[in-house]
Structure 1
Amino acid sequence: MTTAPARPDTGGLPLYDALAAVYDRWTAQNDYAAWADHLAARLRGTELPVRTVLDVCCGTGTVTRLLQERGFEVSGVDGSPAMLSRARGRVAPGTPLHEVRLPAPLPVPAGSLDAAVCCFDSVNYFAPAELPALLRTVAAALRPEGVFVFDLNTRHKLESVFGDSHYGDDLDDFAYVWRNRYHPGEHRCDYAISLFTASGDGFRRQTEHHSQWWFGHDEVRAAARAAGFTVAGVSEDYSDRPVRPDTLRETWTLVRSAPEPG
């Protein structure tokens, strides 16, 4: 569905080059329709009408398509050509899909979009030094009072659920082994994902190395403020429930500040 910026990794493939082929089956347990319903409600609950939406880190286009089905005019941006190739077969014909390694500038006119979304932990792939730049990039594409809704894996999830763990599964024509290493001083969890896909009479092994960072609320609020956003709310995992100490995923809603009257 969504993917991180395609930056070089160490000791493996570029992010999502291998995973793209199995990504939709691997993540089929996600309730994407519920996510899209929540996003649509958030976007329709704004003071100004929302028509044009950018799906940031759109991946294979699942949320892009679901928002299109809910009446929005949605375009997408992602850093992985393999994931975008999958997205082109899913989204509405003619949907603009851009390959961009964020936080590089977006190929859209400044202030031209009503809203942006970024789902499935994609923002966690940006290092702390990159978060303000990412938010500035998104803000530049939005009109004043435009909305940005995104989710984040929490500290609790990276620290206590992923942590220093490993697991895997056999899904018939592909299998995987996922190994995690948590770096508490850096607020980062590294993932080594070895994917085994059917090839001839055997299986082909490919390994990707991913990293995610967690962000405290003060850190997100400061980055949002520096990018010209105000925080309209933060809730638990595409719901209206307040976040708790054991929340695994948070959903943030930012609004681009209107310019000061001159």
Structure 2
Amino acid sequence: MTTPPVFSKEYAADYDVVYAKQDYTGECALVERTLQRYGKAKIKTILDLGCGTGTHSLLLANRGYEVTGVDRSESMITQARTKKPNDRSMPVTFQQGDAATLNLGRSFDAVLMMSAVLDYQLENQDVVAALQTVKRHLNPNGLFLFDVWNGPAVLKTRPQERIRIFESHGQKLIRLAVPKLDSTLHRCTIEYRHLLLQPDHQYRETVERHTVRYFFPMEVKQYLAETGFELVSMAPLPEGEGSVTDDHWHVSYVARNLEQR
């Protein structure tokens, strides 16, 4: 058994098996509706910050957007590149980079941080640094779409130990998630234990520990204001509309870049 770093080669290889049934198409449709609803101009270019293995980026490129996918895990980016069709006309590129320090030297009409990417910014200064990265990559009045764990819901319905089994291409992946909540630091450390069983009876066991932060709505609003954003919308996921309550674990936010260049 090995204990690799977070977002290791093994985790990247397992990622698309674990999330094979996630409704990526529906999520991208919601992104597009949101961009059309709140964009002051037609959205053409998107930065997908924390793109993982690139599924959202690829689907959005198929919808006609020019997409740049960035992730801090080189293993995730490698996986994303293997999923890109050989058709060079598809307007999507992938590269490695960190949300706290990224500087691509260009700006976009919209920036996405989907699937709780912002939750990995644990310290207050990390959150500010990530938001500053978003801001320097946004055009004036550009949109920032992101989602986070909702603090009131996390404290009401605390994370529980879970075991799930996934099967794909003759492989079976058994995943045990063991969470440990720290309500003082607003964090949850989750130990993921993966047992991958191969058709030839070989197996691989890996362990990763992910520490994520949860946020409260007024806290998010304050962070956005401090870094030059206007909060435009807040809604529960997966609905993407309606009022947020303490029963909603995942909340999406839409913010607008107030800076005029």
Q: Shorter-normalised TM-score: what interval? A: 0.7 to 0.9
Whole-angstrom CA distance in 2 between matches of 1:81 and 1:157: 33
SS at match of 2:102: coil
2:145 equivalent to 1:149: yes
> Which of 5, 8, 12 matches 2:3?
12
Question: Which residue is equivalent to 2:14?
Answer: 22
Query: 1:134: how far off?
Result: 0.6
Query: 1:157: how far off?
Result: 4.5
Amino acid in the other structure paired with 1:28: A
Question: Which residue is equivalent to 1:253?
Answer: 254
| Alpha-carbon distance change, 35 to 54 in structure 1, aligned in 2, over 3 angstroms | same
> Which of 93, 99, 102 matches 1:96?
93
- Indicate if the aligned counterparts of 1:98 and 1:107 stay in contact, CA closer than 8 A: no
Question: Which residue is equivalent to 2:60?
Answer: 67
Query: 1:101: how far off?
Result: 2.1
- Indicate if the aligned counterparts of 2:195 and 2:206 stay in contact, CA closer than 8 A: yes
SS at match of 2:6: coil
Whole-angstrom CA distance in 2 between matches of 1:159 and 1:181: 12
When the two structures are aligned, how many residues end up with a matched partner?
247
Query: 1:42: how far off?
Result: 1.4
SS at match of 1:185: coil
Question: Which residue is equivalent to 1:4?
Answer: none
Amino acid in the other structure paired with 1:12: T
Query: 1:162: how far off?
Result: 4.7
Q: Which moved more, 1:189-198 or 1:52-61?
A: 189-198
Query: 1:258: how far off?
Result: 3.4
Note the 1:122-133 alignment, pairs <5 A.
122-129=117-124, 130-133=126-129
SS at match of 1:255: strand
Question: Which residue is equivalent to 2:237?
Answer: 237
2:134 equivalent to 1:138: yes
Whole-angstrom CA distance in 2 between matches of 1:156 and 1:30: 24
CA RMSD of aligned residues (A): 1.9
Query: 1:43: how far off?
Result: 1.3
Query: Kindly, what percent of the aligned residue pairs are identical?
Result: 23
SS at match of 2:215: coil
2:19 equivalent to 1:32: no
Whole-angstrom CA distance in 2 between matches of 1:159 and 1:27: 25
- Indicate if the aligned counterparts of 1:64 and 1:91 stay in contact, CA closer than 8 A: no
Query: 1:215: how far off?
Result: 1.1
Question: Which residue is equivalent to 1:5?
Answer: none
Amino acid in the other structure paired with 1:117: L
Query: 1:230: how far off?
Result: 0.6
Question: Which residue is equivalent to 1:8?
Answer: none
2:83 equivalent to 1:84: no
Query: 1:156: how far off?
Result: 4.2
| Alpha-carbon distance change, 161 to 30 in structure 1, aligned in 2, over 3 angstroms | farther
Whole-angstrom CA distance in 2 between matches of 1:157 and 1:32: 23
Query: 1:25: how far off?
Result: 1.9
Whole-angstrom CA distance in 2 between matches of 1:168 and 1:202: 21
The C-alpha deviation readout for 1:46-103, integer Å capped at 9, x for no partner, is: 1111101001100111110111121111111001111111111223546321211221
Question: Which residue is equivalent to 1:7?
Answer: none
| Alpha-carbon distance change, 39 to 170 in structure 1, aligned in 2, over 3 angstroms | closer
| Alpha-carbon distance change, 187 to 34 in structure 1, aligned in 2, over 3 angstroms | same
SS at match of 2:92: coil
Whole-angstrom CA distance in 2 between matches of 1:258 and 1:66: 29
* 5+ long unaligned stretches in structure 1: 1-10
Whole-angstrom CA distance in 1 between matches of 2:123 and 2:33: 29
Tell me the TM-score normalized by structure 2.
Answer: 0.88
| Alpha-carbon distance change, 41 to 166 in structure 1, aligned in 2, over 3 angstroms | same
SS at match of 1:252: strand
Tell me the TM-score normalized by structure 1.
Answer: 0.88
2:43 equivalent to 1:47: no
